[in-house]
Structure 1
Amino acid sequence: MTDSRLFTRRRLLTLAAGASAALAFDFAAAGVNPPSTAAPAISGNGNKGDRKMLTRNIPSSGEALPMIGVGTYRGFDVAPGSDEYKLLPKVLDELFAAGGTLIDSSPMYGRAEQSTGELLSIHEPRSPAFLATKVWTRGKQEGIAQMEDSFRLLQTERIDLMQIHNLLDWKTHLPTLRGWKEQGRIRYIGITHYTSSAYDEVEAVLKAEKLDFLQINYALDDRAVESRVLPLCRERGVAVICNRPFGGGGLLGRLRGQPLPGWAGEVQANSWAQLALKFLISHPAVTCAIPGTGNPRYMKENAAAAVGPLLTDAQRQQLIALVG
């Protein structure tokens, strides 16, 4: 290890002072790959009182993935030494201690990839993070250069999931991703989008290409994905990551002040945020939701949404009726 890297680690450890050093990791065993038309298997019994984060199998491999992760948009795009940056080690502590692993980033998120790489580098041994990022540019060589930069910023030799962001120049990037997957540099490949206006194109790509993941917008008040995209993902054996799980921010504001349903305690939900996330991960096509935050308290609250029983169809319909 070079002197400059040692200096970086010492500086980061100083910035992270006060963050807990002990992490409780939970590695769920990978299950058997289910048929594409069946709901991917869930690990954890989901019983009341169970404190273990639920996982759902990735259809293409059978690997179990914890059902709540974290998005790094805005929350991780902060300067080292700032008050916001000093909170981030604890955000990751809360994610990992709860049994979560997925950290989603992108080159378009400012400093987020670099912050993620710096923070993960201070954990000894290396954290169990499932690293997901994106390529978001045109041209083969430009895409390769951008993805190589992501490896450097994330300080890793392998990225778990590389996604073609917003389908930008996807036909050009997909052969590169497939080649890197064969080489073991990336483990899974996928596409992303965040608006219903793109669903026709998303569906066309899912039908034409074999992919491991789709990242798409889905929230209690943004359910257009339910009609065709989610059923198609189940049919094609594609894992689904939910972005914008709180509907862009307005959902929780509208629910704030309303009493929780009487059955909330039965599913171990103590807040509207937890119910909104449980609504998503209770859908059989959804593999993981990635609420973004740079706040340890919110991370802990969000992670707890994947603990205990999932929602019944009747409970999901009650929540839909509340938001209209």
Structure 2
Amino acid sequence: MIDRRRSRRSFLKLAAASAAGWWASLSPAGFAAEREPHRKPIPSSGERIPVIGMGTWITFNVPDAPGPMAVRREILGRFFARGGGMIDSSPMYGRAEAVVGDCLRALDRPEALFSATKIWTRSTSTGREQHADSLDLWGAGRLDLQQVHNLQNWQAHLETLRERREAGEVRYIGITTSHGRRHDEMERIMRSEDLDFVQLTYNILDREAEQRLLPLATERGIAVIANRPFRQKALIERFEDHPLPDWAAEIECENWPQFLLKFIVSHPDVTCAIPATSVVAHMGENMGALYGPMPDAAMRERMVAWVGDL
């Protein structure tokens, strides 16, 4: 019998294509287009994805009105122009999936897209309906990643997702938690189930996952998505009145979002982070973390000590 995980690991690596079209002009002046974005492999396949993705909680839950929709299209345009790929959403996020789908159609569905969403319900049948709705809302015949949101009814939903993966409706499956909750249960699932991804909270202050979950993910060959990289703006607001240390220039950090994101994605067990924003300029700041030198272990310790003293 062919081992499915080993077979999937033999897939050819897929390079995320640079988005082309009118939105390329959104790149800020001086951006060196020839620089390669940092990518990390998905362990179960070897496919490499950009280490900075995009979340949609709150920020893309907006009405279908010209003003808000135009801003979201521009945000996504900047995201793809600067080398982005993964967009993460959920039925929990109100209109976010619908807004993302509309924006993707307006951008002619960039090839670099890595679509990630979730099933969020205690009902097994409703979970199947949510998956079907997501395919429709994203305007896709297949999703790249489907996750069980906050472990709700995870046993039944994972069975559904395996069926959908076999049917070709999803490429990868995973589970999520947030706010540092339910780590014990997540650990048990990671040890017992065949997963491609886990999503959890990890940032420069919330580092509990370093003790067990991150090393376990590497041991089990599971990709890690870090959510709440800024604690939903709280970390930015906490640090923004303080100047960056002079040595932040060594890793080409020009602002606090880049400092905080580079700390996260430089961890060897983290695959990508998914900051969210509703401001075009902030998207440009976030995507700056996709380029330039990354902190090594000694620099990471220095970063932790610096913010601890603020």
Q: Check whether TM > 0.5.
A: yes
* Structure 1 stretch displaced more, 262-271 or 168-177: 262-271
Q: Which residue of 2 aligns with 1:56?
A: 40
* Residue of structure 2 in register with 1:135 after alignment: 119
Larger deviation, residues 250-259 vs 115-124: 250-259
Look up the SS of the partner of 2:199 in the other structure. Answer: strand
Instruction: Work out the number of aligned pairs and report it.
Output: 282
CA displacement, residues 255-295 of structure 1 (integer Å, 9 cap, x when unaligned): 12222122222211100110000000000011110001121
Aligned with residue 251 of structure 1, among 232, 235, 249: 235
Pairwise CA distance, 1:210: 1.0
Tell whether 2:67 aligns with 1:66.
Answer: no
Q: Does 1:272 align with 2:256?
A: yes
Q: Deviation at 1:323?
A: 2.7
State the distance in 1 between where 2:304 and 2:100 align. Answer: 35
Q: Is the deviation greater in 176-185 or in 250-259?
A: 250-259
8 Å CA contact 1:132, 1:159 repeated in 2: yes
- Contact 2:180–2:200 at 8 Å: present in 1 too? no
**Separation in structure 1 between the aligned mates of residue 242 and residue 101 of structure 2, nearest angstrom:** 40
Contact kept? 2:89, 2:118, Cα under 8 Å? yes
Is residue 2:240 matched to residue 1:239? no
What CA distance in whole angstroms lies between the structure 1 residues aligned with 2:23 and 2:100? 19
Q: What SS does the corresponding residue of 1:201 show, helix, strand or coil?
A: helix
> What amino acid sits opposite 1:177 in the alignment?
L
Give the TM-score normalised by the residue count of structure 2: 0.87
Whether the 8 Å CA contact 1:206–1:236 is kept in 2: the answer is yes
* Contact kept? 1:193, 1:216, Cα under 8 Å: yes
The question of whether the paired residues in 2 share the 8 Å contact of 1:52 and 1:98 is answered with no
* Cα pair 1:120 1:127 within 8 Å, conserved: no
1:268 touches 1:308 (CA, 8 Å); kept in 2? yes
Q: Which runs of 5+ in 1 are unaligned?
A: 1-19, 25-47
Counterpart for residue 130 of structure 2: 146
Report the CA distance between 1:206 and its aligned residue: 0.2
SS in structure 1 at match of 2:182? helix
**Residues 126 and 97 of structure 1, relative CA distance in 2, 3 Å threshold:** closer
SS in structure 2 opposite 1:118? helix
After superposition, the Cα gap between the structure-2 partners of 1:228 and 1:118, relative to the gap in structure 1 and judged at 3 Å, is same
Q: Which residue of 2 aligns with 1:122?
A: 106
Deviations 1:230-274 (A, max 9, x none): 010010010000100012332222212222122222211100110
- Structure 2, unmatched stretches of 5+, are 1-20, 26-31
| Structure of greater relative contact order (alpha carbons < 8 Å, 6+ residues apart) | 1
One-letter amino acid of the structure 2 residue matched with residue 255 of structure 1: F
Fraction of identical pairs, as percent:
44
SS of residue in 2 equivalent to 1:197: coil
Amino acid paired to 2:294:
L
- Equivalent position amino acid for 1:77 in 2: N
The answer for the alignment partner of 1:186 in structure 2 is: 170
TM-score by length of 1: 0.83
RMSD of aligned residue pairs (Cα, Å)? 1.8
Q: Paired residue for 1:177, among 147, 157, 161?
A: 161
Q: 1:49 touches 1:308 (CA, 8 Å); kept in 2?
A: no
Give SS of 2:22's match: coil
Which among 296, 304, 307 is matched to residue 320 of structure 1?
Answer: 304
Structure 1 residue 49 displacement after superposition: 11
* 1:214-243, Cα deviation, whole Å (9 max, x unpaired): 010011111111111101001001000010
Amino acid at match of 1:240: V
Q: Is residue 113 from structure 1 mapped to residue 97 from structure 2 by the alignment?
A: yes
